Amino acid sequence: MTDTVDHAAPLDLTPRGPRRSRRGGRRRYLPIALIALIVVAIGALLFKTLGDASLFFKNADVAVATRAQLGDKRFQLQGTVVQNSVVESELAGRPAVLFSIAYNGVALDVVHIGNPPELFKAGEPVVLEGRWTRGASPAGTFQQGVNDGWYFASDRMLAKHDSNYESVNKARLRQADEGGKVPVTSSPDGR
């Protein structure tokens, strides 16, 4: 009989931690991805909100005088609705209102898409949001309008302010009332 010696490697009995699977690595990145998604969503919301808040605010006379500089940029426009200028219409199956507004003796034509607020009427100040458009109105002709080949295309309108707005913006409203009652011309130079 022969003696055989086992030369096998000694057994390693050192305790080990839990075995990591490949899926464990993916779970680690899930919270990071969620945080990144939330940061992007908040950034987009802030960008949209600040973009809306930074709209230029122009009175009708200044908007006409700076029409070339404004180009097709979106801005807010203030003026008083000219008497006998309101015409209700329809554009692509949606309600539309054509009218003119005036401020400091300067008038301009407006095509508003959508239903106007209940308090909208001739002789009252309005604040509109939209942009300049060149050409004939797609919703019809302006009655008592300037008809100078330009109109303000509006999709948002505020009319007749509530008491909270009035208390904070007395000077702006007084200015709108005074500016809207001046005799109307078609351009800042009186032409």
Instruction: Give the pLDDT of residue 136.
Output: 86
Q: Which domains are present in the chain?
A: 56-180 (2.40.50.140)
H/E stretch holding 95: strand 94-103
- Nearby residues of 137 by Cβ (< 8 Å), 6 or more positions away: 98, 109, 111, 151
CA R_g for the chain: 33
Pairing of strands 94-103, 75-81: antiparallel
Q: For residues 114 and 122, what is the distance between their CA atoms, to the nearest angstrom?
A: 17
Tens digit of each residue's pLDDT, the chain (191 residues) = 555 655 666 777 777 766 655 555 667 788 888 898 999 998 888 777 665 555 678 999 999 999 999 988 999 999 999 999 999 988 889 999 999 999 999 999 999 999 998 889 999 999 999 999 998 888 777 877 788 889 999 999 987 655 555 665 667 666 666 665 545 554 444 44
Instruction: Give the pLDDT of residue 131.
Output: 95
- Nearby residues of 110 by Cβ (< 8 Å), 6 or more positions away: 97, 98, 99, 100, 101, 128, 151, 152, 154
Q: For residues 109 and 148, what is the distance between their CA atoms, to the nearest angstrom?
A: 8
Helix (H, G, I), strand (E, B) or coil at 18: coil
